Amino acid sequence: MAKTCMECGGEMPPRKSTAGSQPKLCSAECRRLSKYRYYKQWKRDNRQRELAKVLVRSREHRAKNPDYFKTHYAKNRERIKLRVRAWYKANREKAQQQQKVYSAQNPETIRRCAFKAAHKRRALVRDAFIEIVDRVVVYERDRGVCGICKKPVERDSKWEVDHVIPLSKGGAHSYDNVQLSHRSCNRIKRAVVPLGQPTLFQVA
């Protein structure tokens, strides 16, 4: 009875000798495909182990070459963006689910990124001077005191960073023109230019 190949299901070629174990694959191509399939299955079964190895190698590489990823991204910016967009388009639901998990685990980071992006867009529209302003740095600099009402601001509350001279009035998006404020105080002030009011850190 002729045996069949375990990979392709085709008939096994005749053997010149009957000694030894019987082959299970009919050709070199089937052997290559079988090894590849076995390796893919092994990676699926040992995913966490492989990810741990990759993480260790990545940390070691970053320790030896701290600026590698920045320079690599700068040289391949457009190619990386195209690859990321293509992956997102093909895995939209997975990407959105990962974003939800990350947002739930890192609310402060998401809030800071959204704050930077919103003010950068506003400043770009008004062609204002732009400086990367970290809201946490502003909170520490102003010692947790609102620059408008001069009352303490709880760190866990929904506080904001106010532009002393509003962007709509020609103010710059920079540390020299921002101050800590309560959300309610910032809403009440709106786009009003204060008369001779310095920022709180300048007073201090």
List pLDDT tens digits, range 160-170.
899 888 887 87
First-to-last C-alpha distance (Å) of the chain: 95
Which token pair is 141?
């600099």
Determine contact, residues 41/34, Cβ cutoff 8 Å. Answer: no
Determine contact, residues 127/153, Cβ cutoff 8 Å. Answer: no
> What is the arithmetic mean of pLDDT over 67-89?
89
> What is the arithmetic mean of pLDDT over 180-199?
77
What's the pLDDT at 114? Answer: 84
**Side chain identity at 62, as an amino acid letter?**
R
The SS3 call for residue 178 is: strand
On whether the pTM is more than 0.75, the answer is: no
What's the pLDDT at 201? Answer: 45
Domains recognised in the chain with CATH numbers: 107-203 (1.10.30)
